[in-house]
Structure 1
Amino acid sequence: ALCLIVLPFIPASNLFFPVGFVVAERVLYVPSMGFCILVAHGWKKLSNRSVLRKISWVCLAAVLFTHALKTLHRNWDWESEYTLFMSALKVNKNNAKLWNNVGHALENEKNFERALQFFIQATQVQPDDIGAHMNVGRTYKNLNKTKEAEESYMIAKSLMPQIIPGKKYAARVAPNHLNVYINLANLIRANESRLEEADQLYRQAISMRPDFKQAYISRGELLLKMNKPLKAKEAYLRALELDRTNADLWYNLAIVYIELKDPTEALKNFNRALELNPTHKLALFNSALLMQESGDARLRPEAKQRLLHYVKEEPQDANGYFNLGMLAMDDKKDTEAEAWMKKAIRLQPNFRSALFNLALLYSQTAKELMALPILEDLLRHYPDHTKGLILKGDILMNQKKDIVGAKMCFEKILELDPNNVQGKHNLCVVYFEERDLMKAEKCLVETLALAPHEEYIQRHLNIVRSKIASLSAMEQSSLPADETATTVAEEKKNAFQNLKDVKNERESTQSTADNGKGHSKNKKRTEKNNMDKETPKKSTKEIKDIEKKRVAALKRLEEIERILNGE
């Protein structure tokens, strides 16, 4: 019994050499067995003596009772990690690991403020504890105190062995301590001006341990951020030499190939990642997105299956349902697309792309009036959504005939972006619908100056100018030969006074109405006598010709309106 008590406890007692870990209950299991045997043996010896028999029973009962109470009390210490490690601190306050353990327990509960206090205490108990300083730095980072976090990481880094070129440190440096370089680099690379400094830290960690896989992965991510995809590719390939079964590495390599504009290789690496981990969520989502963006209809069924698998893994991510909707739109499955888009919006009511594309779907399927409430939601969340304003304006103008509402939409676009060609062009169409042709012409001229190579703007400008000319011709044909039409002629003449060639034609054909009998008399004096007989016939012929032109002009105007309304 004495051997069971003493011998198993000697290695963990720190009597002959430091063991490097806290004396815990697990090292007392076998000694406890020896203690129980010793108690039983002593009770047996005492109970065999008649004089001490009663005393032996009393002692045994007392031992069992007191130890039962101690066991019951100890059970409350095991309620949680926090209570367990706090009970240890009551016994020994000079062990840094105990302070760190309490800090970790509080950190797991997201109680970073209190966790920081215990981590700092651990550094005070053992100032050369690299892990304790790393814990302090990580907690400061979680509290968004980057300056203090960097200072703590720098202290931990200063405790690392000095680097000697060409020397390996795999045997001297604990792999967990090398994370100080990774953590410090991850912290400072948030500052765009310190990316090179972060890269130096990753290379420093690799030089100390060439098989440090996490350093290659983190450096690859940084090199991508630095727009160095070829070097990132080298880093990931080196990491794959160390571990070819890591799905994350294959996924990261696929992202590099996307940056290198090589979607075929990217898809191969996504597929490799999914072979190793069929539930790799990022690989499922991004590979499906790559298939969709390829435009290859043969890849759409597989893309759909991957997205369905993704939403099964991430049912609360609206992006999965949105991309399923986009796939359905590509396949012209409008009802299915509508259902997916609505599900995405239910999960994320302010989902910008889902709101706009659902409204666009309604617009493309002759359900424009159903699109308006969706556009209202979109513009409530994003008042500066230009495409949403354009689509809303088009629906108001073409479906609801709400010219005022459409005009407000297009004017809002130009407030946000005065050089927006589509918004300005649509505002010109509004002026046309308002029959303000002069303003429409001026607007289209300005729009054409913004986009001189857009053929449709030039075509519409020609149409408006043609309509102005046609209206001038119509005005000419509508005037009677008597003087009662003089007032109407003058008003129309003023409305189109900038069209000099049309005005001259109007004046020459209406000389009788404009100049009165004096002009007629002068005309009679200069012509031969037989002209008096031919004049009525000639006037009738001119009127008929003008009437034909007027009818043709009306047909042309109708065609112009159909064209403009349809654009």
Structure 2
Amino acid sequence: MGSIPLVTSISDSRNIMTILMIGLTFLLTLRCLQDFDNQKHPSMVLGLMLLIIPFLPATNILVTVGFVVAERVLYIPSLGSIVLTVYGIQILWYSWTSQRQTIACFVVLLLATGCMRTIARNRDWRSRESLLRAGLTTLPQNAKMHYNYANFLRDTNKFELAKAHYYTALKLWPSYASAHNNLGTLLNYSHEAEHHFLEAIKYSSDHVNAHYNLGQLYRKMNRTTESEMMLKRCIDLEPTFAPAYVELARLQDNDLNILKLLRRVVELNPNDPYFCAAFGYWLFKKGLYEESLRHYHRSLQISPTYKEAFIGVARVLRKLGQSSRLFQIVTRWQLIHRNSSNEIKLSHVYLLGWSLRSELTSKAKAYDVYYEFGNSYLNTGTTENCSLKEKWLKQKRNKTSSRSSKGEEKIRTTKYVSPFIVHHLLDSL
């Protein structure tokens, strides 16, 4: 991909270095085999094994891989290199006793250089952006470096810069299918985007995202037949690709087919609250309130704080006229919302909900008592009713001793307030 220029001729000077390294490795291996019986050089044997064997899968000799040089494949070989280096320094230390000062200086210089290089590399690993920038600076001719950096720019909404790096990646590697696909998602012109999606499919016939994106594009262009063909091909390539089912459902006119497709999406994503809530919303629009409510509740079981599911449940309950359950779900959402602001703990949600319901019920009963005594018994002359009326008035007088008789008379004639409205009033307060 441009990391290391390929050797294309025998006259390439790098062939000499390759031959020297292979020859040296062969001689060391031969010496290790000769001394294997008496175990004369165990450190050298171990170092060679750690250096060669773990690196074989990444050499493109046994199997084809998508990289040649990568830090992740050099961790264990680095141990072998260190073992061989230390063993070589040990031999020199005891063989050249007169040059020990020079050897010590060389070791210190080697350690200092390694530490400084490690510190510099750690700075590159501080963030995704710094790592990608470092790779792009080191390997500007690597198509994958431009592709990865373009993905980062796309994720950070820097679309114009992302397009430029996608174009550079394609210039360096024209058959890069993923770059064609990702570039097509950023283009505003449908025909140009279609061209890149088709190029991605041309170079990688089993590219699922390219088929899906092209099907989406055809749907927006009202090319229904081609869109359906691409989406079905996408499902054939990956039967568990849920977005393709959703897009295919948008093309259907028959509610029964849509129902089957959306149910299939929910089956494929049993732990995703989004798809359950989306299916519940479709059922709600079709008037299937009970089934819609079941899927909204299932979404809340998966994620107890999923906002769309709460809204959906409230919408269904309001449509069914179940005011008490609607109040409960609204109260529960308010408590969870407060919990997200660190005002209460989530473990106390149901306890606080029960406490709030009990408190509001007692408040509502107070209004019921006032309504009963303030109106029904106000104009009666029986002793029992008068005693009840006096008892209630005495209770109100103790609470509002500073009120005038005119204010008390105004309270007696106050209009009755339903308990449900009182609940909402107190809750808002």
Task: Flag the 1:39–1:209 CA change in 2: closer, same or farther, 3 A.
Answer: closer
Distance in 2 (alpha carbons) for counterparts of 1:39 and 1:267: 69
Q: Corresponding residue for 2:199?
A: 155
Q: 1:83 aligns with which of 89, 114, 130?
A: 130
Give 1 or 2 for the bigger CA radius of gyration.
1
Contact 1:211 1:242 in 2 (8 A): yes
Distance in 2 (alpha carbons) for counterparts of 1:146 and 1:112: 17
Distance in 2 (alpha carbons) for counterparts of 1:42 and 1:134: 51
Contact 1:285 1:306 in 2 (8 A): no
Pairwise mapping of residues 140-289 of structure 1 onto structure 2 (< 5 A)? 140=187, 144-161=188-205, 173=206, 177-191=207-221, 193-195=222-224, 197-220=226-249, 222-223=250-251, 228-289=254-315
Q: Which amino acid aligns with 1:252?
A: A
Task: Flag the 1:10–1:334 CA change in 2: closer, same or farther, 3 A.
Answer: closer
Distance in 1 (alpha carbons) for counterparts of 2:124 and 2:140: 17
What CA deviation, in whole Å up to 9, does each residue of 1:341-384 have, x standing for no partner?
A: xxxxxxxxxxxxxxxxxxxxxxxxxxxxxxxxxxxxxxxxxxxx
SS in 2 for 1:261: coil
Q: Corresponding residue for 1:109?
A: 156
- Residue range with higher mean Cα deviation, 76-85 or 254-263: 76-85
What CA deviation, in whole Å up to 9, does each residue of 1:37-70 have, x standing for no partner?
A: 2222222222223211111112112211222232
SS in 2 for 1:128: coil
Higher relative contact order (CA 8 A, sep 6+): 2
Distance in 1 (alpha carbons) for counterparts of 2:305 and 2:225: 35
Distance in 2 (alpha carbons) for counterparts of 1:50 and 1:242: 72
Aligned-pair identity in percent equals 27
Q: Corresponding residue for 1:292?
A: 318
Task: Flag the 1:213–1:313 CA change in 2: closer, same or farther, 3 A.
Answer: farther
Distance in 2 (alpha carbons) for counterparts of 1:114 and 1:86: 13
Q: Which amino acid aligns with 1:214?
A: P
- Residue range with higher mean Cα deviation, 75-84 or 260-269: 75-84
Q: Corresponding residue for 1:138?
A: 185
Q: Which amino acid aligns with 2:425?
A: E
Pairwise mapping of residues 371-450 of structure 1 onto structure 2 (< 5 A)? none
Aligned-pair distance for 1:9?
Answer: 1.8
Contact 2:51 2:80 in 1 (8 A): yes
Q: Corresponding residue for 1:55?
A: 102
Distance in 2 (alpha carbons) for counterparts of 1:66 and 1:204: 55
Aligned-pair distance for 1:178?
Answer: 0.7
SS in 2 for 1:291: helix
The two structures, once aligned, show a CA RMSD in angstroms of: 3.2
Aligned-pair distance for 1:291?
Answer: 1.0
Contact 1:156 1:180 in 2 (8 A): yes
Distance in 2 (alpha carbons) for counterparts of 1:231 and 1:196: 16
SS in 1 for 2:287: coil
Distance in 1 (alpha carbons) for counterparts of 2:335 and 2:213: 33
Q: Corresponding residue for 1:509?
A: none
1:332 aligns to 2:379 (yes or no): no
Pairwise mapping of residues 298-377 of structure 1 onto structure 2 (< 5 A)? 298-308=324-334, 311=337, 331-333=420-422, 336=425, 339=428
Please list every run of 5 or more consecutive structure 1 residues that lacks an aligned counterpart in the other structure.
Answer: 162-172, 316-327, 341-567
Task: Flag the 1:125–1:32 CA change in 2: closer, same or farther, 3 A.
Answer: same
Q: How many residues align?
A: 307
Contact 2:59 2:68 in 1 (8 A): no
What CA deviation, in whole Å up to 9, does each residue of 1:145-189 have, x standing for no partner?
A: 55533332232234343xxxxxxxxxxx3xxx2122222333443
Distance in 2 (alpha carbons) for counterparts of 1:98 and 1:334: 60
Distance in 2 (alpha carbons) for counterparts of 1:44 and 1:269: 71
Aligned-pair distance for 1:198?
Answer: 3.2
Q: Which amino acid aligns with 2:256?
A: L
Contact 1:229 1:256 in 2 (8 A): no
Q: What is the TM-score when the length of structure 2 is the normalising length?
A: 0.63
Task: Flag the 1:36–1:246 CA change in 2: closer, same or farther, 3 A.
Answer: same
Distance in 2 (alpha carbons) for counterparts of 1:256 and 1:277: 19
Q: Corresponding residue for 1:530?
A: none
Distance in 2 (alpha carbons) for counterparts of 1:12 and 1:249: 41
Task: Flag the 1:188–1:273 CA change in 2: closer, same or farther, 3 A.
Answer: same
Distance in 2 (alpha carbons) for counterparts of 1:310 and 1:70: 50
- Residue range with higher mean Cα deviation, 54-63 or 15-24: 15-24
Aligned-pair distance for 1:197?
Answer: 4.3
Task: Flag the 1:96–1:107 CA change in 2: closer, same or farther, 3 A.
Answer: same
Contact 1:284 1:310 in 2 (8 A): no
Q: Which amino acid aligns with 2:211?
A: Y
Contact 1:229 1:259 in 2 (8 A): no
